[in-house]
Structure 1
Amino acid sequence: MKSKTGPQEAIPQQDKDEAIYQALMNAIVEHQLPPGSKLPEEALSGVFGVSRTGIRKVLQRLAAVQMVTLTPKRGAQVATPGVEEARDIFTTRSLMECANLPAVVAHLQPPHLVALGKLIAQEDQAHARQDGPAAIRLSAAFHIQLQAISGNQVLTGMVTSLTQRSSLVIAAYGAPWQHGCRCNDHTHLLELLRQRALPPLTAALQQHFEQIVSSLHFERSGETLPDFARLFAAEKGAAL
């Protein structure tokens, strides 16, 4: 009988790449890596303990979903959406998410309301303790879960991608205290959803996006070089 003990199996390269991708994506979405932040391959490869080739592949994946820009001779940076792009992102979200609300209401069940209520409570708590990353994550989760009620997986995936890009817009143009959406807006949306009041729900969601855009200050951020070792200390161990 073979012994059950022995050296730990090596983590597949694909899993390492995915862990690094998610770590960088989360740091960008949660504003720990703001727009314009430089992402040098050498620094990141040292932090994560992988080759520059591996880092380059991850950065290319992030560029493909428009979270990172790759420029010859300048390397990679966290993307900074232009003003028109920023407006278009929220306009597209408003069109998609409002148009999908009839399907959301048609598929709505009591457990959905409970789950959304829990997200709002967690979001309130994050704001109360001034936990910006958690507030951003929970705000996005509210919108994604709301749309997921419809059962349209394609649209839900598109909304997920757009919420990530929305976070870039807020990081680039939002006020320093702005972390995701206003909790009161989500509470109001949930109450209208509970009533299955489709016309006012649609109007409230549309106004929600309009208010976000009106709160933005369209001034660009400067370039920075973050402390990667501090940001990704835990992820480095997981990738090894």
Structure 2
Amino acid sequence: MKHDFRAQAPAELQDKEEFIWQSLMNAIVEHQLPPGSKLPEEALAEVFGVSRTGIRKVLTRLATVQMITMAPKRGAFVATPSVEESKSIFQTRSMIECANLVNVLDHLQPPHLVALEKLIRQEDEAHHIGDGAAAIRLSAAFHIQLQAISGNQVLTEMVTGLTQRSSLVIATWGAPWQRGCRCVDHDNLLELLRKKDLAPLTHAMQHHFEHIVSSLHFERSGEMVPDFARLFGTQGD
């Protein structure tokens, strides 16, 4: 049975709002809530057991990081990145992640390589068994952990936000089978990291992003209203 959080203390409500925010973010990033999905406050408030005010706070936060759009009289929808925005997201990622590789190599240690290789193997297994949500999550984790090696927390946070928006781009414009990045690309990047050869590594990273953009079809899909009870109905159990 779902718990009703509406009568709880402010601190508990804050924790619950954080939980709802993460639940919705995960569902969007992992393509369980596709671009264009309507996010009605009343339905979400009911399934999470909070007030509409609490849901509105969460939706406002998601809109601030451009994961959803909110319009007067229309409500909230999962964002649908335009063609120009989609290309700009990956262009920005390429510039930031490639420029930071020199700092990554300066701080790179053997345990970092072991951790990255583990992520690649997990990602490959997710693709093999058809677990699209896990493949998306692990693909993003590879890029985030790679950049985190540099020790630049601000840049790592920027890359984290961009990977979330990248998932929206792939959900909007990618082929139905497209989930995250190609594992073979990540394998290649890992091998070049081992060699600590900056120029080929940078070129491979640039090519990686160029390939992702070239694989996108830029064909819109229709809007839909998700089954929130199926997605989140057991969250408070």
SS in 1 for 2:76: strand
Equivalence for 2:185: 185
SS in 1 for 2:47: helix
Q: CA deviation at 1:150?
A: 0.2
What amino acid is aligned across from residue 109 of structure 1 in structure 2?
A: Q
Alignment: residue pair count:
229
Residue identity over aligned pairs, in percent, reads 75
Are residues 1:61 and 2:61 paired? Answer: yes
What amino acid is aligned across from residue 80 of structure 2 in structure 1?
A: T
SS in 1 for 2:234: helix
Q: Structure 2: which 5+ runs fail to align?
A: 1-7
| C-alpha distance in 2 between matches for 1:109 and 1:235 | 39
What amino acid is aligned across from residue 74 of structure 1 in structure 2?
A: R
Alignment of 1:32-181 (within 5 A): 32-181=32-181
| C-alpha distance in 2 between matches for 1:155 and 1:78 | 25
Q: Is the 8 A contact 1:19 1:235 kept in 2?
A: no
Equivalence for 1:213: 213
Q: Structure 1: which 5+ runs fail to align?
A: 1-8
Which stretch has the larger CA shift, 224-233 or 92-101? 224-233
| C-alpha distance in 2 between matches for 1:154 and 1:192 | 25
SS in 1 for 2:179: coil
Q: CA deviation at 1:233?
A: 2.3
What amino acid is aligned across from residue 169 of structure 1 in structure 2?
A: V
Alignment TM-score, normalising by the size of structure 2: 0.95
SS in 2 for 1:167: helix
What amino acid is aligned across from residue 231 of structure 1 in structure 2?
A: L
What amino acid is aligned across from residue 189 of structure 1 in structure 2?
A: L
Equivalence for 1:31: 31
Report Cα offsets for 1:159-197 as digits up to 9, x if no partner: 000000000000000000000000000000000001101
SS in 2 for 1:93: helix
Report Cα offsets for 1:12-66 as digits up to 9, x if no partner: 1110000000000000000000000000001100110110110000000000000
Q: CA deviation at 1:236?
A: 3.1
SS in 1 for 2:15: helix
Equivalence for 2:19: 19
| C-alpha distance in 2 between matches for 1:156 and 1:134 | 21
Q: Is the 8 A contact 1:116 1:146 kept in 2?
A: yes
Equivalence for 1:201: 201
SS in 1 for 2:122: helix
What amino acid is aligned across from residue 63 of structure 2 in structure 1?
A: A
Equivalence for 2:4: none
| C-alpha distance in 2 between matches for 1:232 and 1:213 | 32
Equivalence for 1:5: none
What amino acid is aligned across from residue 105 of structure 1 in structure 2?
A: L
Q: CA deviation at 1:221?
A: 1.9
